[in-house]
Amino acid sequence: MRDYIRNFVRSHHCLCIFAVLQLTLMLSMLEVRIQIDQSPELQRPLTRVYVVGQPRELACSPFLSGFAMGAMFYGYGLIYLPTKGPLGGLLTTIRMTGLSVWQQCSPVMLLPWSMRVAQGLSMFPHHVWECLAKEPCLEADNFLLIVILATAAWIYLLILAITSFVVALRLNLRMLGARHIGGGDHELRAYAREINELLGFEMIVLST
C-alpha cells in the first residue's frame, strides 16, 4: 500500500500538489468561532463552537489554487500550443513570450494563494484573543478543552500551509534551474540544442 501511494504521488505529483494546496486553502477559509452562552436557564455559561464559511469564497477557491499551479508549468502551458498552419509564427511567438514571462514571474503566482491562506490563519488567534478579553470564558464549561483542541488544529493547519508552500516553491525553483544548462558535458548540450530545434524555440537555455 505504501509503495502504491508513493508511485501514485510520483506519477501524479502535480495533481497531488493541487489537492494539498486546495485543501489547505479551503481549511483556512473556514472560520472557527467560540462563543459563550450565558442564557438565564443555564446554571453555568456554556461554550459553543461554530464553523463558518462563505460558500462563494469556497466555490472560487480552486481558481486561486489553479493560479498557483501555474508556477509549476513551463510557460504556463503555452509551450504546448501547436505551431502548424498559417498562424504558426504567431503561436511560436506566444510560446516564447509565455516561457519568458514564466521564467521571470512564475514564483509571484504563489502570492495570491499565500495571502489568502495567511489571512485565514490570522483570524483564529485574533478571535481567541477577543474572546479571552470580553467573555467570562474561564467559568464556561469545556472552554479550555475546546480552545486547546482548536489551537492544536490551527497549529497543524499552519504546518500544512508552510509545508505545501515550501514544496510548491521548491518545485518551481527546481524547474527554473533545470531550464538552464551550463558548460561541461558536450553531449548534453548537443542534446539540448536538438530539443530546442525540434520545439522551434529556446526551451533549454545554454549558458556559456
Whether pLDDT at 13 is above 90: no
Q: Which three cell numbers stand for residue 147?
A: 480552545
Using one digit for the tens of pLDDT, what is the confidence trace for 99-155? 888 888 889 999 999 999 999 999 888 888 877 776 666 666 777 788 888 899 999
Average pLDDT for 41-64: 84
Q: How many CB atoms lie within 10 A of CB 97?
A: 13
User: How far, in Å, CA of 29 to CA of 204, rounded?
Assistant: 39
User: Given this model, what pLDDT does residue 208 score?
Assistant: 67
Angle value at C-alpha 199, between 193 and 205, nearest 5 degrees: 45
Q: How many CB atoms lie within 10 A of CB 128?
A: 18
pTM of the model: 0.82
Average pLDDT for 171-185: 80
Q: State whether the Cα torsion 49-22-154-5 is positive or negative.
A: positive
Domain boundaries, the chain: 2-179
> To the nearest whole number, what is the mean pLDDT of the chain?
83
> The cell 513551463 sits on which residue?
74
Q: How confident is the model at residue 180 (pLDDT cuts 50, 70, 90)?
A: confident
Q: Which three cell numbers stand for residue 49?
A: 463552537
Whether pLDDT at 52 is above 70: yes
Q: Which three cell numbers stand for residue 129?
A: 484573543
Q: Say what percent of the chain tops pLDDT 90.
A: 27
Whether pLDDT at 47 is above 90: no
Using one digit for the tens of pLDDT, what is the confidence trace for 141-172? 777 788 888 899 999 999 999 999 999 999 88
Using one digit for the tens of pLDDT, what is the confidence trace for 81-99? 777 777 767 887 888 888 8
User: Given this model, what pLDDT does residue 35 score?
Assistant: 80
Whether pLDDT at 17 is above 70: yes
User: Given this model, what pLDDT does residue 24 score?
Assistant: 95
